[in-house]
Amino acid sequence: MSGGGGDLFGVLPDELLNHVLSFLPSLEAVQSSLLSRRWRHLWRSTAAVRVRGEGDDFRLFVNGLIIHRKATPLRSFEIDADLGTPNEPPYDEPWLNDDWRGEVDPHVDLWVTHALRSCHARSLTARFDVDIPWRPRRALTFASAHLTTVHLEAARLVDGLLDFSCCTALQSLALVRCLLDHEGDTLVSPSLECLAVVDCRSMDTR
């Protein structure tokens, strides 16, 4: 950060430093607060949240990040997490086969909802362990007039979760290794321009 030429970042405005930090994983962005007093709070208003991990320490970190970050608009919210807990027999959902037994920590729903509703994220990327996929627990989890891009990997999209009609700005949707409602729901999006469905499976929820 310093040397013969002095502090090379000292002359840069906070807005530009925030832009640079937005390309880092959120853990590294938070760690930048140790560089100097000026950097102490910059991470709180970056335009992107990028988190990846597993276990209790990861859960606590993301909870703290959500609590302490300013509710400023997000360009993107990205989560790549292994936070599943396998179900024990008898299984809560009898239609699950050996590849789909478990539940993702419900904190994930709170994080995504906060990113979309409080921070108006324009892009959402959510990746999970295919053996224990994410099943959003709220039908309006993805309701946002600001979302333009959604990428979901290893998610169970049933009970109305294929209805993106509230996402009036949505242009690109990618579903990868997801479990879809076979007969009950139809994908709805009035604005969608690009759709990718890769290695997904369907089920009958009757």
Model confidence pLDDT, tens digit, residues 82-125: 988 765 544 444 434 444 456 899 999 999 999 999 999 999 99
Which domains are present in the chain?
A: 1-46 (1.20.1280), 50-203 (no CATH)
Q: Which residue in 32, 50, 28, 57 sits closest to 42, CA to CA?
A: 32
> What is 4-44 written as a DSSP string?
TT--TTTTS-HHHHHHHHTTS-HHHHHHGGGS-TTTTTGGG
Distance CA 40, CA 32 (A): 7
Cα-based distances in Å from 130 to 62, 178, 206: 21, 8, 23
CA nearest 205: which of 177, 184, 190? 184
What's the pLDDT at 91? 43
pLDDT score at 13: 80
Q: Range with the lowest mean pLDDT among 28-37, 60-69, 111-120? A: 28-37
Residue 163 identity (one-letter amino acid):
D
pLDDT of residue 101: 54
Phi-psi category of residue 53: left, alpha or beta, with phi > 0 → left and psi -120 to 50 → alpha = left
Other beta carbons within 10 angstroms of residue 158's beta carbon come to: 19
Beta pairing, strands 103-104 & 123-128: unpaired
pTM attached to this predicted model: 0.84
- pLDDT-derived band at 71, boundaries 50, 70, 90: confident
Whether a cis peptide bond, with omega within 30° of 0, leads into 13 is no
Could you report the per-residue pLDDT of 178-201, keeping only the tens digit for each? 998 766 568 899 999 999 999 998
Strands (DSSP E) along 129-185, which ranges? 149-153, 156-157, 172-176, 179-181
